[in-house]
Structure 1
Amino acid sequence: MDFIQTIVLALVQGLSEFLPISSSAHLILVPKFTDWPDQGLVFDVVVHLGTLSAIVFYYRAILKTLINDFFYSIVKIQTIGQSRLAWGVLLGTIPVGLAGLLLKDFVEVNLRSTEVIAYATLAFGLLLGFSSWVNAGNKHTRDILNWTDVGFIGLMQASALIPGTSRSGITITAGLLIGLSRKMSIQFAFLLSIPVITLSALLMMLDLYQQPQLVDWSMLILGFVLAAVSSYLTVVFFIKLLDTIGLMPFVVYRIILGVLLLVL
């Protein structure tokens, strides 16, 4: 990888990981349309760790509370503080974890085409728009999760294995559809990203152990820093801008991108 490719792909990962536009799709499409060589598994691991560090830092105070209340709830065998949310994050990760283990090879071989990305971008973009419209008309949105909510969002998150879906997009969509407030839908979606990105990075590390690669440490460090900083800034501004612009700009972007991919 050269300097320009490192910068572009690290920024693509950082900017798209937490926006509802699918980072996996953009990481597939950019090299295809630029005729760049594959960036390699090492780079993918590093930029994923960069985005993980960003979201952990952003939610560091909440995570400290969740971890404490989680273990305290086990000791007391009852709900303590934010322990319900902590258990929700843990249980909501199970469907995508199992689906990833079972379908990883199938997805890699069959679902990484431009056509699949185009249709997924369109379909899940329209679903995001529909959920936003439904939620806007709901005067009784909730900030409290129940176990049915966790199960539904967890199952919907498993569909993010399809490139073009967007993990953050589908989990936000699911939350909005079942009546969670936009704030709670986004918070739960972003908290769910922590174990999911961790599991994804671990799986990639396992593949990397089986297929070791030569590394350029300077490019990897640059990629990590750019992915971490850009993803952190994206989360900060995304959450702040939602009250002003809502989700429709991302829906429009997905529709335009999907149509362009089908045409091209």
Structure 2
Amino acid sequence: MTFIQMLLLAIVQGVTEFLPISSSGHLILLPVFTGYADQGPMIDIAVHVGSLLAIIAYFFKDVIALGKGGLASIGIGQAPAERRLFWWIIIGTIPAVIVGLFLKTGGYLEGFRSTTLVGINLIIYGILLGVADRLGRQVKSFEDMTLKDGIIVGLAQALALIPGTSRSGVTMTAARFLGYSRVEAARFSFLLSIPAVAGAGILIVPDLMDANSELLKEALITGVLTFIAAFATMTFLMQFLRKASMMVFVVYRVLMGVALLIWF
């Protein structure tokens, strides 16, 4: 890949990963509109890892708290609140892990790289996001998370393995339906992505071991560029959600989905 292609991938991933408009869908569309060769699932996951590092950097205090909860779970230290939240994150991750392993081992991931599927999902899940944001109450915070809430949001996250759904979008949708505020829905969505994206990164380790040095270099450069774009986007989104609704993202998703279905 050229540096321009890697830069475009990083910007698209860094911006769309945290805005509820589907990063995987945009990554599939990028080569369609630019004429570049499809970057493939390995580079897709590499840029997701760049986004993961941005999440860890932005929510560093929350990540440390979850780390304390993990240690408390094995008898190191006393942190009951952190331990409870740690387990809600783990439990919420299980559905995505199961579905992800099924899709990877069955060879179904490549079959999802369809522009028509992206367009349909942009519309359907965009409308659901709008309904949830309009009807959902804003009374809960991340600390109010229960086992039931963790499972529901986790099941929603599993749907995001299909391009066009948007991992952040569908988990925020579920959280808003459950009564979490916009900011807290985004916060939980981003923290929930940590083990899921880390797991996806682990899945490609065998492929990376067999990859040539050029592909490894491209993955590293694109991941670093993605980290920069993702951190900037996350900072913007968390400030934006304190003052505005998600309707602008709903409109964007529906218009883009309709345009894709007409175009293709």
Give TM-score scaled by structure 1 length.
Answer: 0.91
**What is the number of residues matched between the two proteins?**
260
User: Does the 8 Å contact 1:70/1:80 carry over to 2?
Assistant: no
What RMSD over aligned residues (CA atoms) do the two structures have, in Å? 2.1
Which residue matches 2:128? 127
Q: What fraction of aligned residue pairs are identical, expressed as a percent?
A: 40
Residue 211 (structure 2) aligns with: 212
Q: Give the superposition deviation at 1:219.
A: 4.5
**Residue 10 of structure 2 aligns to which amino acid in structure 1?**
A
In structure 2, what is the equivalent of residue 180 of structure 1?
Answer: 180
Q: Please give the alpha-carbon distance, in whole angstroms, between the structure 2 residues aligned to 1:38 and 1:195.
A: 26
Deviates further, 240-249 or 86-95 = 240-249
Give the AA of the match of 1:15: V
Match of 2:221 in 1: 222
Give 1:43 shift.
3.1
Structure 2: runs of 5 or more not aligned: none
Shift of 1:245: 2.5
Cα 1:217–1:95 change in 2 (3 A) is closer
Distance 1:112 1:100 in 2: 15
Cα distance change, pair 57–79 in 1 and its aligned pair in 2 (3 A): closer
Aligned residue for 2:20, secondary structure, equals coil
- The answer on whether the counterparts of 2:28 and 2:38 sit within 8 Å (CA) in structure 1 is no
Letter in 2 for 1:134: L
- Cα deviation, 1:157-209, whole Å, max 9, x if unaligned, reads 11111100000110010001111222321111100111111111111223333
2:258 partner amino acid? V
Match in the other structure for 1:235: 234
Specify the alignment match of 1:147 in structure 2: 147
Task: Map Cα deviations across residues 203-254 of structure 1 (whole Å, 9 max, x no partner).
Answer: 1223333x52341666444322220011001111101011223211110110
Moved more, 243-252 or 120-129: 243-252
Kindly provide the amino acid, as one letter, of the partner of residue 193 in structure 2: S
| Change over 3 Å in CA distance of 1:154–1:18 after alignment to 2 | same
Alpha-carbon distance in 1 for matches of 2:83, 2:220: 36
Q: Give the match for residue 246 of structure 1.
A: 245
> Is the aligned partner of 1:118 residue 2:116?
no
| Equivalent position amino acid for 2:241 in 1 | L
Q: TM-score, normalised by structure 2?
A: 0.91
Q: For residue 240 of structure 1, what is the amino acid of its counterpart?
A: Q
Q: C-alpha distance in 2, partners of 1:263/1:186?
A: 31
Q: In structure 1, what is the Cα distance between the partners aligned to 2:69 and 2:41?
A: 36
Deviation at 1:255, TM superposition (A): 0.5
Structure 1: stretches of 5+ with no match in the other structure: none
Q: What secondary structure, in the 3-state scheme, does the structure 1 residue paired with 2:253 have?
A: helix
